[in-house]
Structures are given as structure tokens and as C-alpha cells.
Structure 1
Amino acid sequence: MMEIVFGKMQDQMSERMRQRPRLAKLIKRVFGYTLVGNYARALTFKELLDQLPLTEFKRIMDLGCGYGEYAFMLADALPQATVTALDINQTSIQNIERLAREHGMDNLETHGNTIDTLQDRDGQYDFIYSVDVFEHIKEEEMPFAQAKEKLRPGGYLLIKIPSREQLTILPEDWFEDHHDWLEDEHIGQVYELEDLENRMKKEGFEVVYTAYADGWWSRLGWELGYLSHKAGPVWQLLCLPFAKSMVWLDRLVHRRKNGNTIQVIGRKRA
């Protein structure tokens, strides 16, 4: 039976955790995954994977893999598939390569450049996903067309990004530094769900699934996690169980009519 587990190697990926490995293992055992935003993101991604015939896939791409947590998750769960972790951050790619060697993950490969430089792979991928990456790219430069070229006919493209309009609960001036970061980094946070769906259709995909995620309760969990992280590691750990419970509660009560994230799955026409 396929088991998809997120965050198995957080203690080995986090530079701070690697400095105190014994303490990191204890924290992991007691609290589980410690970053609330990534935790919520992973729950949403796993829900999206339920919409796909994962066991049929032979070649998968993590487009903008970051630390590689999803690439490791899928390479571990799908030994029959080859997973390509692609990112322009060379440090991330080097760390992914190191961990893949240490754990004997022969089905995890890397590419430290943009998708258009991935040579001789047109029409080879069954599934390409990009989780919270396209919002960092100008709208006209988002690589929908390049991803389509790499997919086989009938292959799937999954895009998850923050929605243009964000639900907020606590006073916004408590998050002023985060808003400053967003203005510089989220140059592509320009879509609501219908916009992203239309963009996928415009690029020649058949849309097979759309959804909002991360409503009010999830937002509260993220806000508490963010503020406690700023307050220091002790406060972060003390607040973590409650913040994660808010994320779970959101999955139970959210009606998906709006939310802070949008996700669309498209299929390349045969």
C-alpha cells in the first residue's frame, strides 16, 4: 500500500536542526513537522494528489522544488517513478543531491536551472507540479508552455499559488515585515481561482480539478505560527500544537468558496 509521508527529513534539511541533531530528533518525535506554513501547504498538496493516478506515473517533475521536501516525499512513496527536483537555487540542489545519496534514493534526480534548459526531455513527463512557485514569477514569464512541452500527451500539470486577495484575522501591522517581503517576492500573485483556471485553458490544458484552500482557521494557524516563530523557538514549539490543530480544523469546516490558496490541475490534450 502506498504511503505518502511529508517532512520525514526535516531534521536533516534544516540548517538549525542539523547543528543539534539529538535535540532535533527529539523535537521531531514529540512535535512532528515544525513549520506551520509548510505543514498546511503539504496537507493541501496531499489532498491534490488524491485527484491523480499516481501509481501510473513513471516520470515526475517538482518544478521549483526549494528544499526538495515534496520531491523526497514522492520519490519515497513511488519507487517505480523517477522524480526530477528542479530549482535555480544551487545550494538547495546540492543539499538535495547529498541527502539523496545518503538515503540511497536512486530514483531522485536534480536539475539546477530553469525548465527550458532541461534538454532532451520533451514529452517524457507524466506529472509536473509546482507548489507556491509561480507567484515569484512575472505573469508573462510563468512557464506554463515550457511545462506543457515536457509533458507527454495526457500528462498532468498541477499549479498551487496564493490567491490575489488574502483573508486576514490579526492586525496587519503585526506582519509588516512579511508584507514588505511579499511586495518584493510575490510579483506573480495576480490570480483568483477562475483566473488561474482560464490561464490553464488558454495554455491548452483541459482543466480536471480546481479548488480554493486555506480559509479562516488555517490563516489563524499560520498567523500564530508566524508570530511565535518570531518570538523564538520556545514560543514556536509551545504554540505549534494549537496552530497545527487550526490547520486541521480548516480542512473539516472550510467550504472552499474562497481561501488564501488556489490550485488547478490541468491535463495536456492528447
Structure 2
Amino acid sequence: MQYDPIKRSLGKVFNRNPFLRILFYRLLDLLLLRSWYIRRELRQWKKTAPNKAKILDAGAGFGQYVWRLSQMGSDFRITGVDVKQEQIEDCNLFFRKKKLQKRVEFRQADLTKFVEPKTYHLILSVDVMEHIAEDEKVMANLNQSLKTGGMLLISTPSDLGGSDTHHHHDQPDQVTGFIDEHVRDGYNADEIKDKLKRAGFTSVKVEYSYGKPGNIAWKLSMKYPIMMLNKSKFFFVLLPFYYLLTFPVAWILNHMDVRKTHNAGTGLIVKAIK
């Protein structure tokens, strides 16, 4: 299933003015369980963050996490990079309208080539690595771009069903996923730890996210709506009513998931220290 067309359609609706854009960010924070985990880790990181911390969002997309970080620290210097030029232009325009251009900037970049030696205290990589075939090259580049002691924070699907892949009954060798843009089905916890250590990180902590509660919440808040939107854009009209019914349940399940330690899950939260 192609996820990008749905994102573009949502972007057109919510990018009409800054108020709608911020509303969109807040909705994503509520609906996306990975955002719950990332915000938890950012709150923890902020407790020891240096003054005028330099932060990179590697694969910034709509700029959701750049916005969050810009509100967390008034002296943070934040760079967002993405391979899509239209996303870069759109984000720069929004942050200029919010008068944040002096400490927030977006640039087009290919992460397999992007290196800014010893520049950043924190780098985010939220649902990016699963889209990149040359992931170890990117990990090495991000390691070089961190200051000593800096942290790379990764959210990515695990190999325990994170990409929701399915084998075709009539073609067993053909595999499709819920999001077709993924180049791998997900990471094994030991695999991603080994890759990061080969890339130069000295300490790597990996934990599962999207346990049983989170997996149900993801289906309610993301999978089923996106499947219906792919079938018909008319479902945009029904979305508010759908979420009115399902969101309270998903919200409770997200709370349960982010507060538990999971022995297995369809997502991974990775903290790698240089």
C-alpha cells in the first residue's frame, strides 16, 4: 500500500495556514504511538541537554518533531533534512511564518551522503531507516555528525511484524507490506545494535515498542483509516466520526503501551551514544 499519497493529501488540507498545521502536529502526537515514545525520550534527554543544543532531524518529513523541539527549548538550534524538496520548502515557509527561522532551518539532503562532522548533540531518525537500503552508511554518517557523547534516537519497525508484511497465497515468494515504501520488513533487535556498533557507536540500548496494546491502537488509529482512505477519498468526510468512536480506546491503549516494558513488539526504540 502506498502511504505517501495519503500523507500528501493530508498535507494539502492542514497546510492552509499555521493554525491548521499546528493542529495537525497535535493530532499526530495523539494518534501516532511512535510519537508518544519519542516525546518520552526527548523529555528525558532535555534534563541533561546543553545550552544552545544543536539538533538534527534526519528525515524530517512534515516537521512534526522539529516543531516539538522548537517548543521544548527556546535556545535549541534545529536542522531538519529530507530528500523531498517540496517538504523542505513547505517546512521552511511554515517556520518563517512562526518567526523561528533564526534557529530552525530545513535543507534537502540524501542521508547516504550527508555528513557534518561533530556538529550535533542529538539526532532523530523517526521511521526512516526502514526506507533506506544503505542503512549502515547512513548510521556511520550520523555517527560522524554527532559530537562525542551525543545521542542518536531511532524509531523503526521490528522484524516481529513491524511492516505488516504478507505472503501471497498464489506467489509465496512475493511479499507486500502495509507500507510498500519500506525496503526491509523490520529490524531484529540484535541486528540493529550490531550495525550501530559497527558504525562507531559505543553504547546502544534497544527496546521494543508497539506491544500488544500498542499494536491494537495502531490498527484502530492508523491502519484501518489509511486502508479506507486508499479505497476512497470520501472517507475524509467520515474520519472525524470514526475517531470520535475509536480514539478513546486507542488513547488508553497508547498509555498502557508506553508505560510497559515489552519482551516483544512490532516497533523498536533505539538510543545510540557516540
TM-score range, shorter chain: 0.7 to 0.9
**1:46 aligned residue (31, 39, 52):** 39
Change (3 A) 1:244 1:200: same
**2:13 aligned residue (11, 16, 34):** 16
Distance 1:21 1:82 in 2: 21
Residue in 1 aligned with 2:106? 110
For 1:138, the aligned partner's letter is: A
Distance 2:49 2:247 in 1: 33
Distance 2:126 2:161 in 1: 17
Superposed displacement of residue 228, structure 1: 4.1
Superposed displacement of residue 195, structure 1: 1.4
Change (3 A) 1:159 1:189: farther
* 2:238 matches 1:207: no
**1:248 aligned residue (233, 244, 255):** 255
For 1:16, the aligned partner's letter is: V
**2:143 aligned residue (142, 148, 152):** 148
Residues 217 and 250 in structure 2, CA contact (< 8 A), matched pair in contact too: yes
Superposed displacement of residue 190, structure 1: 4.0
* 2:52 matches 1:55: no
Superposed displacement of residue 240, structure 1: 2.0
Normalising by the residue count of structure 1, what TM-score does the alignment of the two structures yield? Answer: 0.77
For 1:144, the aligned partner's letter is: M
**1:257 aligned residue (256, 259, 263):** 263
Please, which runs of 5 or more residues in structure 2 have no aligned partner? 1-9, 169-174, 229-234
Distance 1:103 1:184 in 2: 34
Distance 2:162 2:128 in 1: 20
For 2:263, the aligned partner's letter is: K
The C-alpha deviation readout for 1:104-141, integer Å capped at 9, x for no partner, is: 1121111112246557x311111111011000011556
Superposed displacement of residue 88, structure 1: 0.6
Using the TM superposition, name which of 59-68 and 131-140 deviates more: 131-140
Using the TM superposition, name which of 96-105 and 51-60 deviates more: 51-60
For 1:62, the aligned partner's letter is: D
Residue in 1 aligned with 2:273? 267
Normalising by the residue count of structure 2, what TM-score does the alignment of the two structures yield? Answer: 0.76
The C-alpha deviation readout for 1:15-53, integer Å capped at 9, x for no partner, is: 22456999x69xx59xx616865x211101022224435
Distance 2:76 2:82 in 1: 19
The C-alpha deviation readout for 1:150-185, integer Å capped at 9, x for no partner, is: 11222211222100112799x999xxxxx8454631
Residues 93 and 112 in structure 1, CA contact (< 8 A), matched pair in contact too: yes
Residue in 2 aligned with 1:33? 27
Residues 36 and 243 in structure 1, CA contact (< 8 A), matched pair in contact too: no
Using the TM superposition, name which of 256-265 and 134-143 deviates more: 134-143
Residues 160 and 264 in structure 2, CA contact (< 8 A), matched pair in contact too: no
* 2:119 matches 1:124: yes
Superposed displacement of residue 60, structure 1: 0.6
Please, which runs of 5 or more residues in structure 1 have no aligned partner? 1-12, 174-178
Q: Following superposition, which runs of at least 4 residues in structure 1 exceed 3 angstroms of deviation?
A: 17-22, 34-37, 115-119, 139-142, 179-184
Residue in 1 aligned with 2:84? 89
Distance 2:149 2:18 in 1: 44
Distance 1:168 1:159 in 2: 16
Residues 168 and 219 in structure 1, CA contact (< 8 A), matched pair in contact too: no
Distance 1:126 1:21 in 2: 28
Distance 2:163 2:109 in 1: 35
Distance 1:246 1:262 in 2: 17
Q: Percent identity?
A: 24
